Every structure is written in C-alpha cells, then in structure tokens.
Amino acid sequence: MTNLYKSALAELDVVFDRLNDGDVDKACGMIAAARKTVVFGGGRERLQIMGFAMRLYHMGLAVAVEGDMTTPPVGKGDLFVVTCGPGEISTALALMGVARAAGSKILFITAQPQSRGAALADFVLHLPAQTMADDQGDKRSSVLPMGSLFEGALFVLFEVMVLKLIASLQIKPEAMRANHTNLE
C-alpha cells in the first residue's frame, strides 16, 4: 500500500513541475483585484473550490459559491472562478455565458486549455493533471481513478494560492482567525 501513496504523491509532483507559476500569480492577481469573487465547480471539484472560497472569506475577501442561496449577482469588476478539469460541462459553459454577459471577468482552471470552456475565459490557468477527459486507454497516466489527480492537485494549488494571496495582501493570521466561524 505504501507504494500507492508514493505513486500518487509522485504524480502530484509531476503536475506541479509542469505548472506555470507565473500563471498562478496572474490568477491570484485577478482574485486580489476583484470587487467580489464567485466560484463554481461541479462534482468533486466543487468540494475543492468551496474550501478555497472559505479561505478567501477568512482573508476578508468578498466571495460566494455559485448555487448557494446567498450568491450575489456578478457584473463589472467581479470575477467568476470556474474549475472544470475536463474542459467543459454544460453547467459551467452556461454559467460562464451568463457571467460574461453581465460583464464579469472569468478565470478558468482546467487540464484542457484548448476546450470550449477555456475559449470563454479571460484567463486560463492550466493545471496539467489527468481528468475524466483522459483517464481511459492509452491516455491514462495516473494510478488514481477518473479525475482524482486533478482534484487532489486543485487542493494543493488552492492552498498555495492562499499563501500567495496572504503575502501579497499582507493579511495577518489573527485577521483570518477572526473571520472563522464560532458556530462549530
């Protein structure tokens, strides 16, 4: 079993060796500059981006998760962050169209930078990890099933983005802790 852990970690290492850190910085800059940020992801990617939204909230940024009853409208000056590893799902494409029509900027995180979803974005952050778009036959490259490598890489990516945002926005740990819920 230990070899499975090491294999999964080695695969994540390869993903981050191939990631363009300058693009991560640009994505962080878009978040820092946004009046408010709304995030979207489907399935297990949704779980990862919800955790990211929570940290953005802890930093004091205006953020919401698409689909929640309290999600505000987006418009000029706002940012819609979409994660879609396979490059397109119908819900993401539809929501991106609505956000674009409203004047919002779109940051698209994907493993498929040539996809229809990427074409709708203002900026594409390419996270080069296996997804369900390439998990079968000769394309399969991960010991992890389906899109798990992409989803695991999202977690690490988002945590590093949080660190970069904390540094660039000069956010103190005490300020983040003050924004943490007391209803636990």
- Catalogue the active-site residues: 151
CA angle 38, 39, 44 (to 5 degrees): 160
Give CA 1 to chain center in angstroms. 30
Query: Which H, E and C letters describe the chain, residue by residue?
Result: CHHHHHHHHHHHHHHHHHCCHHHHHHHHHHHHHCCCEEEEECHHHHHHHHHHHHHHHHCCCCEEECCCCCCCCCCCCCEEEEECCCCCCHHHHHHHHHHHHHCCEEEEEECCCCCHHHHCCCEEEECCCCCHHHCCHHHCCCCCCCCHHHHHHHHHHHHHHHHHHHHHHCCCHHHHHHCCCCCC
